[in-house]
Structure 1
Amino acid sequence: MKTRYSFGGDEHVFVEMDEEMSLEAFFKALSMSNAVRDAAIDGVTEICPANASFQVKFDPDRIKPDDMMAEIKALESHAEKAEKRLKTRIVEFPVYYQDPWTHETLMRFRDRHQDPNGSDLDYAARINGFDTVADFITAHHSAPWFVSMVGFVSGLPFLYQLVERKKQLEVPKYVRPRTDTPKQTVGYGGCFSCIYSVRGAGGYQMFGITPVTIFDPKQETSYLKDFMVFFKPGDIVKFSPIDRDEYDSILAEVEANRFTPKIKEVEFDLEAFEADHDGTNAKLMGALNVG
């Protein structure tokens, strides 16, 4: 794996661990970005982690770009010794698949889709070799997901499914982006699922919606009082399918500030996962039912 360094204008250094997403690349990027943070380099103003890379913003009046690049490169040894264990949390997230709101939206934008004659789930099921939409939905929620980055839109998590490569679901983005996506839509693009934190434009396929707020800049939501963004890199998510009645019930609890997300502290071991995908996933998801 060859690390690539480049400048982003006069105030950024971009560090790419790999051109494609993998859990190994994520852990190396996380380890190195943490090393940059711990080094407290004079002039660094922000560190932005991504799926298999990170970007450092700095003040060029305090440190020259070439000097900043050299400081960061000197920390690459930390990436080579990346810790492959992570103390994190697993969160159960309800999803109302095939809901009426994303369906209405996707039908408005069929002219921008690869297949104007069906729904996003119809298309995703077919190109991934599933006989039915129900089978595809089961594949989407049957294994946990790893939050590899949060951003692009405030609070939006990118989620990478914890399965072996040959079982990865893959669905391309729309041919042309939509100008509308309902808030809290569960979407899919490439090998990543996501949850749209706000209503707005988007290009990911739309599979369902969650009643759980994930971004609250006013911090009025009970479980977001400490920080306006729910997710953070390293979180593990278990999607749980719900019906319309359950959706309405949970939404009412969220709006009344009585809802508490189901969260358990866990340890994710990359080597254990690579040795036994199913066993590791069963252990992670089983933690949600403990206590």
Structure 2
Amino acid sequence: MTTRYTFGGDEFIFVEISEEMSLDAFFKGTAITRELQRRDVPGIVDICPANASYQVRYDPDVIDPESLLALLKDIEAQTGDAELNIATRIIEIPVLYNDPWTHETLMRFRERHQDPESTDLEYAARINGKASVDDFIAAHAGSPWFVSMVGFVAGLPFMFQMVERARQLQVPKYVRPRTDTPKLTVGHGGCFGCIYSVRGAGGYQMFGVTPAPIFDPAQRLDYLRDFMVFFRPGDIVKFKPIDRAAYDEAVAAVEAGTFSLRVRDVNFSLESFLRDPDAYNRSLVEVLHAD
């Protein structure tokens, strides 16, 4: 991978680590941006990591652009393959798959879909070679996902499945975007999963809903007390299928202000993961459920 640096006007540097998404590119960008944040360099206004790139906003009256460029290249040089380790979190997100609300919505927009004769889950199962919707859901919830960036709307996480590329679930977006998507829909477009933090337009396939708020300016729940946006790049998500009764119970807890999420701190090693992804994923899930 050859990193490309581009100036955007007189306040931004855009850094493209790779032309395609990969765990290597993601972790390299994450390691660089975390180190840049740790150094707390005067003149840096904002650091925005993305899937295989990042952007830095700076104040040219405080830091010289060429000096910042040299600093970024120096941090990259110091971030070798052996350093692609991060301290992060693994989070369990409950999901009611095949729920009535996304089903009602997807049926209203079938004319915008590649296959108007099937549901989003049925279509996704078929094109991914799964024998049934249940098999597809098992594959979707069976392995963790990395939050590679947060954006599009406030708090929406883009997630990359932690399996070998040949096993990644891939589903194209709708032919034409919808004008409506239920709040907290678990969606999928291309190789990326997401959770729609608010109700609104969208084009990703819809697989289910989570009862867990991930964006709340009122910050009523314990896991949102530090910041109104829950997810951050580098988080690891493990979906947990739940039934309607468990979903309703969780929604009631949200309304009462007592709902919480299972969150555990972990140290992630890309080298160890690549050596045996399935075994490493099992070790992550063991940490999640260790009490």
| Contact persistence 1:27–1:82 (CA under 8 A) | no
Distance 1:150 1:83 in 2: 23
Distance 2:40 2:85 in 1: 24
Unaligned runs of 5+ in 2: none
- SS of 2:83 mapped into structure 1: coil
Distance 1:96 1:283 in 2: 25
Unaligned runs of 5+ in 1: none
Q: What are the residue-to-residue correspondences of 1:1-291 with 2, within 5 Å?
A: 1-80=1-80, 83-291=83-291
Distance 1:212 1:220 in 2: 12
Give 1:108 deviation, angstroms: 1.3
Give 1:267 deviation, angstroms: 2.2
- SS of 1:74 mapped into structure 2: helix
**Number of positions where the alignment pairs a residue of Structure 1 with one of Structure 2:** 291
Give 1:223 deviation, angstroms: 2.4
Mean CA deviation greater in 147-156 or 186-195: 147-156
RMSD of aligned C-alpha atoms?
Answer: 1.7
Distance 2:118 2:25 in 1: 36
Q: Name the CA shift for 1:272/1:63 in 2 (closer, same or farther; >3 Å).
A: closer
| Contact persistence 1:90–1:238 (CA under 8 A) | yes
- SS of 1:86 mapped into structure 2: strand
Give 1:63 deviation, angstroms: 4.0
Counterpart amino acid of residue 225 in structure 1: R
| Contact persistence 2:88–2:235 (CA under 8 A) | yes
Length-normalised TM-score, structure 1: 0.94
Give 1:127 deviation, angstroms: 0.8
| Contact persistence 2:31–2:85 (CA under 8 A) | no
Counterpart amino acid of residue 77 in structure 1: A
Give 1:64 deviation, angstroms: 4.9
- SS of 1:240 mapped into structure 2: strand
Give 1:82 deviation, angstroms: 5.9
Give 1:81 deviation, angstroms: 5.3
Counterpart amino acid of residue 20 in structure 1: E
Mean CA deviation greater in 249-258 or 79-88: 79-88
- SS of 2:79 mapped into structure 1: helix
| Contact persistence 2:145–2:238 (CA under 8 A) | yes
Distance 1:10 1:186 in 2: 38
Counterpart amino acid of residue 60 in structure 1: P
**% of aligned pairs identical?**
61
Counterpart amino acid of residue 253 in structure 2: E
| Contact persistence 1:27–1:83 (CA under 8 A) | no
Distance 1:82 1:216 in 2: 38
